[in-house]
Amino acid sequence: MARKIIIDTDPGQDDAVAILLALASPELEVLGITAVAGNVPLALTQKNARIVCELAGRTDIPVYAGCDTPLNRKLVTAEHVHGKTGLDGPQLSAPTMALQPEHAVDFIINTLRREPAGTVTLCVLGPLTNIATAFRRAPEIIAKVQEIVLMGGAYFQVGNITPTAEFNIYVDPEAAAEVFAAGVPLVVMPLDVTHKALTTQSRVDAFRALSTPVGDMVAAWTNFFERFDKEKYVSEGAPLHDPCVIAYLLQPDLFTGRQVNVMVETGSDLTLGMTVADWWRVTKRAPNAMFMGDINAEGFFNLLTNRLARL
Q: Summarize as ranges the residues that interact with ligand RIB (CB under 6 A).
A: 10, 12, 14-15, 38-39, 125-126, 151, 160, 166-168, 241-242
User: In sequence order, what are the residues at sequence separation of 6 or more whose Cβ sits closer than 8 angstroms to the Cβ of residue 106?
Assistant: none
Is residue 126 within the footprint of Ca ion (CB under 5 A)?
yes
CB of 125 to ligand RIB, least distance (A): 5
10 Å Cβ neighbour count for 93?
Answer: 7
Report the distance separating Cα 276 and Cα 281, nearest Å.
Answer: 11
Q: Catalytic annotation on 241?
A: yes
Nearer to ligand RIB, 12 or 237 (CB): 12
Reduced to 3 states (helix: H, G, I; strand: E, B; else coil), residue 114 is: helix
CB of 15 to Ca ion, least distance (A): 4
What amino acid is encoded at 92 in this protein? Answer: L
Residue 190 partner contact from Ca ion, ligand RIB, none using kind-dependent CB cut-offs of 5 to 8 Å: none
Report the distance separating Cα 50 and Cα 95, nearest Å.
Answer: 6
Is residue 265 within the footprint of Ca ion (CB under 5 A)?
no
Q: Could you tell me which residues are beta bridge partners of residue 198?
A: 239
Q: Return the sign of the alpha-carbon dihedral for residues 8, 13, 18, 22.
A: positive
Nearer to ligand RIB, 39 or 146 (CB): 39
Reduced to 3 states (helix: H, G, I; strand: E, B; else coil), residue 124 is: strand
Residue of the chain from 7, 49, 92, 125 that contacts Ca ion (CB under 5 A):
125
Residue 166 partner contact from ligand RIB, Ca ion, none using kind-dependent CB cut-offs of 5 to 8 Å: ligand RIB
Is residue 244 within the footprint of Ca ion (CB under 5 A)?
no
Backbone angles phi and psi of 170, in degrees to 5: -65, -40
CB of 77 to ligand RIB, least distance (A): 10
Residue 291 partner contact from ligand RIB, Ca ion, none using kind-dependent CB cut-offs of 5 to 8 Å: none
Give, in order, the Cα–Cα distances in Å from 311 to each of 21, 132, 139, 223, 299.
Answer: 9, 33, 38, 20, 19
Concatenating the DSSP letter of every residue in 35-54 gives E-SSSS-HHHHHHHHHHHHH
List the interface residues with Ca ion, window 7-46 (CB under 5 A).
10, 12, 15
Nearer to Ca ion, 10 or 172 (CB): 10
Nearer to ligand RIB, 184 or 197 (CB): 197
Strand ranges (E), 192-261: 255-260
CB of 292 to ligand RIB, least distance (A): 14
User: In sequence order, what are the residues at sequence separation of 6 or more whose Cβ sits closer than 8 angstroms to the Cβ of residue 308?
Assistant: 17, 20, 21, 24, 207, 210, 212, 214, 215, 218
Residue 167 partner contact from ligand RIB, Ca ion, none using kind-dependent CB cut-offs of 5 to 8 Å: ligand RIB
Report the distance separating Cα 174 and Cα 266, nearest Å.
Answer: 6
CB of 196 to Ca ion, least distance (A): 18
Nearer to Ca ion, 151 or 274 (CB): 151
Q: Are 34 and 127 in contact (CB under 8 A)?
A: no
Q: Which candidate in 80, 103, 195, 241 is catalytic?
A: 241
CB of 286 to Ca ion, least distance (A): 28
Nearer to ligand RIB, 35 or 112 (CB): 35
Backbone angles phi and psi of 6, in degrees to 5: -115, 130
Residues with catalytic function: 241
Please give the residue ranges that form the binding site for Ca ion (CB under 5 A). 10, 12, 15, 125-126, 242
